[in-house]
Amino acid sequence: MRFKFWSYILAFFCSSLLAINANAQNSILDNIIQIDGVIMTSDSLRAVPYVTVLVKNQDRGVVTSPLGVFSLVCYKGDTLEFSALGFRPKEYVINKALKGQYFSLIQLMTQDTFYLPETIIRPLPNKDEFNYAFTHWNIPDDKYSIAERNTNKYTLRMLAYTLPRDGRESQSMYQKQLATDAVYYNQVKPMNILNPLAWADFLQAWKRGDFRKQESDYGN
């Protein structure tokens, strides 16, 4: 008898929990609402594209389509915020007393007025002041002048002599050195100091003044 009594108590307790859980789930489901809406201008009823629709104080929202249409799932009692560039922001509070879970919404937005900072136009100074300003003003170089100066042949030559090799150039030089060592493996490498062709090229370069040009380039 005692076992049956406690069995009845346990069954009653479990059924109560299930009923409470079912009621809570039904309450949550009844509180969910899906809103399909369109955003339009208040003066001409034109669709407003790319409006940001956010649920206030929550990280949830959507952006309207190019036709101003949106669809959003939220809870009854939430506040929707509408914002778009060129329009005044709007808020809409969803009524908690709504019956059902699917509703349509047409939100009208009013165009906002932009106030740009003022622009002051003054006449040019007299001729003498203009000539002085034109001569002494330090006007920065434009991008074309900077690029022209950086690609000057003397600048590029100076960079070629001063900049270190990058990884690709170092690897290429190392591979060439390995290839040269492999060609003259177990042999005596030729010495250009005894090569008549190298001496002939040196004398011709000396006569042309190639070395004098290099010295002047280094000096500049």
29-109 under CATH 3.40.50.720, yes or no: no
What one-character DSSP code corresponds to residue 114?
P
The full set of domain ranges for the chain reads 29-109, 125-163, 166-220
Q: Rounded to the nearest 5 degrees, what angle is found at the Cα of 30, between the Cα atoms of 97 and 56? A: 70
Map residue 22 onto helix, strand or coil. Answer: helix
Q: What is the pLDDT of residue 18?
A: 47
Q: What is the pLDDT of residue 5?
A: 46
pLDDT in tens, the chain (220 residues): 544 544 555 554 455 444 445 444 455 677 888 899 999 998 888 999 999 999 988 888 899 999 999 999 888 889 999 999 889 999 999 888 888 888 889 999 998 877 778 888 877 677 888 788 778 877 666 777 887 888 888 888 888 778 787 788 888 888 888 888 888 777 777 776 767 777 878 788 787 777 665 544 444 4
CB 2 within 8 A of CB 69: no
Tokens of 155: 């600048």
Which residue, chain included where needed, has tokens 């101003």? 68
C-alpha 104 chain-centroid distance: 36
Contacts of 80 (CB under 8 A, 6+ apart): 35, 53, 54, 55, 56, 72, 74, 91, 92, 93, 94
Q: 10 Å Cβ neighbour count for 34?
A: 13
Tokens of 179: 């290839």
What one-character DSSP code corresponds to residue 44?
T
